[in-house]
Amino acid sequence: MDIQRLKGLRGCGGAGFPVHIKWQAVADEATLEGGKVIVCNADEGEPGTLKDGWLLNEQPRRVLLGMQRAAAMVGAVRAYVYLRPEYTEQLRHLQGAISNLVEDGFLSPGSGAMWNGAGFPGREVHRPDYPLPPAAMPQIAPAAATGLPLRLDIVLGGGAYICGEETALLESMEGRRPQPRHKPPYPTQSGLWGLPTLMNNVETFWWAERILSGEVDTPGSHRLYSLSGDVERPGVYEAPVGITASDLISQFGGGVVNREQISCWIPGGAASGVLPPSCLDTELSPEGLKEVGTSLGTAGVVVYAKPTQPVEVAAEIMQFFADESCSQCTPCRLGNRAFSDWISGVHDWPESAVTERWLEAMELGSICGLGFTAPLVVRQMQRWFSEAVV
């Protein structure tokens, strides 16, 4: 029943999956030895997105309470926050909130243990010297069937973009190279250590808490927008889903110096691609952005003023994807690399039939969202800035 109250809320990590369906799926799974698991994905890595970090600084208790409610509703007995390792301030706030919740009886004593998730060998990650991931599922004190009090620990991320992909995140937590798993099975069926796992983004748990506590009664009506780039007041703003970018910029961001100077903008994090100024009056909603070929993603709005060229922005994004590809599957590893080189002019573009085939191979052949959504950046360039690409 309670889970249905979340209807309307969509995941805020980028993919926008209906939250109540995911929670129900985990609730419906049988409980294995070891119990069910809640994971809060706090590995905020999407360029142009900063709302999770802001939330963890400002309202960590509410995020944790959202996790705690989720655990009670799906029957989970252990929970983890997988935190971006650069978020040292957030870590402090989280730890404080955890010890308060332990005192208040919401979390079990001992909560707040730490370990470092695995990253890519060869990539330096700056983080405190916490233990390596456990070789096997750690034992926790037997919990009541309700999952109360919940055991909640923190894992510091592996320091790579792909660690934010839910199954790569699980691999990192288990101590392996953070490469996405093949789905199915989905984490809801077989996640951390093979247990049914409910994973949501920081903001999602925050909204869930606000909805379930009765503070918000229109799930999904608002989002936290990360507004950055060439605006007067960059920051994180709660605003309605469906607000136009123009309004967001003017009402919340204090406006751009000169609207005629906008070169291009990003609606929902780097993976949502680059749009022209002509689209600034598009509604920032799944439906509105679909019309212009993209999605709301993480609701990370980035505004670029001239003289920055759209192709420079796109090249930077493709370079980022190429560098951050986990290198497990070929289309993502080599496709992103090629488009990065082509779009930045390191190599000459081949004929359009070839780029079309390569985009198709990435879209159909990649293992995870990094590989199969990266072509969107190229396709948006082809649609809106065709003079700059092939």
Partner 1 sequence: MSHDKITFNLDGEDMQVDAGTSLLDACRSKGAQVPTLCHEDRLEPFGGCRMCLVELDGAPRPVPACKTNASEGMVVRSASESLERVRGTIAEMFMAEHRPSQGGRPNAMEKVAKRFDLGAPPIQFPKRTEYHDHNRFIGFDTDACILCNRCVRYCDEIMQVTALEHFGQGPDAIVQPTDGLSFLDTSCELCGGCVSSCPTGALYEKQAQGIEESSCETTRTVCTFCGVGCVIDLNTKDGNVVKVTAEEGVGPNDGHLCTKGRFAWQFIHHEDRLSEPLVRGDDGELHAVSWEEAYARVVEGLSKVKQEHGADSIGFLASSRCTNEDVYALQKLARSVIGTNNVHSCAAT
What's the chain's Rg over C-alpha atoms? 21
Nearest to 377 by CA among 294, 303, 306: 294
Residue from 26, 256, 271, 329 touching partner 1 (CB under 8 A): that is 329
Residue 278, Cβ neighbours under 10 Å: how many?
10
State the Cα–Cα distance between residues 365 and 357, nearest whole angstrom: 11
Residue 24 found at the interface with partner 1 (CB under 8 A):
no
Instruction: Write the interaction track for partner 1 spanning residues 131-170; mark x where CB under 8 A is met and - where it is not.
Output: -----------------------------x-x--------
Pairing mode, strands 36-42 and 76-83: parallel
For 16, the token pair is 């926008």
Residue 364 found at the interface with partner 1 (CB under 8 A):
yes
CA count, 13 A, side-chain hemisphere, 325: 27
Exposed, middle or buried: residue 227 (CB in 10 Å: 0-12, 13-18, 19+)? buried
Give the binding-site size for partner 1 (rule: CB under 8 A).
39
Select the span of 115-123, 124-132, 228-236, 379-387 touching partner 1 (CB under 8 A): 115-123
Residue from 26, 101, 324, 385 touching partner 1 (CB under 8 A): that is 324
Residue 295 found at the interface with partner 1 (CB under 8 A):
no
Residue 384 found at the interface with partner 1 (CB under 8 A):
no
What dihedral angle (degrees, nearest 10) is formed by the CA atoms of 329, 330, 336, 341? 150
Residue 366 found at the interface with partner 1 (CB under 8 A):
yes
Residue 182 found at the interface with partner 1 (CB under 8 A):
yes
Residue from 10, 20, 69, 337 touching partner 1 (CB under 8 A): that is 337
Residue 253 found at the interface with partner 1 (CB under 8 A):
no
- Site residues (vs partner 1, CB under 8 A): 120-123, 160, 162, 177, 182, 322-331, 333-338, 341-342, 347, 350, 354, 357-358, 360-361, 363-367, 372
